[in-house]
Amino acid sequence: MPIDNRDAEWVLRRKMREADTNASALSLHIGKSRTWAHVQLFKDPLGTLWSMSYKEPEALDLFAQKLGYRNRYDLLIDLDLITKADLKALQDWMELPKRTAAFPLNPLAEPANLTVKIPIYGTVGAGLKKIHANDHPEEYVEFDMRELPKAIDVAKLFILVVNGDSMSDDYVSRQIPHGSKILVESDAVPTDGKIVVAWIPELETGVVKQYFAKGENTLLRSYKVGGPTFWASQYPDMVLEGVVRRVIWEP
């Protein structure tokens, strides 16, 4: 059964006790702020460490060694972020002899089919339906890194399941039917026409809608004619939770 963020936090805290260190000391050891572990790491340990594996590999090595691992790969394997087969494929590729032929190696070829696990946090309404979003993921979906949008921080990606049919209409070519799974990037800044996920506290409802800026106001509208429409001026506490980057599954 795949490890989740709660399991990962438990493993990291156990390793800290065994290494006789604490969160603040561990954060400072790798050049982070004293509060980094509490503010970022323990909030999303799997996403944070996976992001570090390709953005800050040296810092992740220091992190892993401080916890008693030989290197970052042992840590990633322990947290089920990569498998031993993935590591073996990478090692085999690194040991290949260097080419001297006239044609260069394919720059798009990758040594190993490493995957990333993205959490599913619950459902979002495509209508006036109440939703739930869990504090902890319901499950994870594995993606090949090459399948994900470029230049996006993987740690900010999550998945929601669409509940409702207001983002589906016969006159729209790119529909989001009821039951679809959507890939969302948190903290992204939307532009006109993008699909966003928003939380409306007054209604205790989360919605997926098309975004438009109207001067100092914001309009969130449905694809379906006559579907729910929300104005920021009508719901001043409305919060944009993220931008939909892809519909990854349709029923």
Q: What is the pLDDT along the chain (251 residues), one digit of tens a residue?
A: 568 889 999 999 999 999 999 999 999 999 988 888 988 899 899 889 988 887 888 999 999 999 999 998 899 889 988 887 766 765 654 554 444 444 444 444 444 456 778 888 777 766 544 444 555 677 788 877 777 777 777 778 888 888 887 887 766 667 888 888 888 888 788 899 999 988 888 887 888 898 999 888 899 888 887 788 889 899 888 888 888 988 877 65
pLDDT value, residue 105: 43
Sign of CA dihedral 227, 233, 238, 244: positive
Note the pTM of the prediction, 2 decimals: 0.53
| CA–CA dist 10, 18 (Å, integer) | 12
pLDDT value, residue 156: 81
Say yes or no: domain 115-249 is CATH 3.40.50.300: no
pLDDT value, residue 136: 65
3-class secondary-structure state, position 154: helix
Give me the numbers of helices (H) and strands (E) for the chain, helices first please. Answer: 7, 9
Q: How do the domains of the chain map onto residue ranges?
A: 5-85, 115-249
Q: 218: Cβ–Cβ under 8 A, 6 or more apart, which residues?
A: 211, 212, 231, 232, 238
For the chain, the residue count is 251
pLDDT value, residue 12: 93
pLDDT value, residue 127: 55
3-class secondary-structure state, position 165: coil
* Strand bridging mode 217-221 / 239-249: unpaired
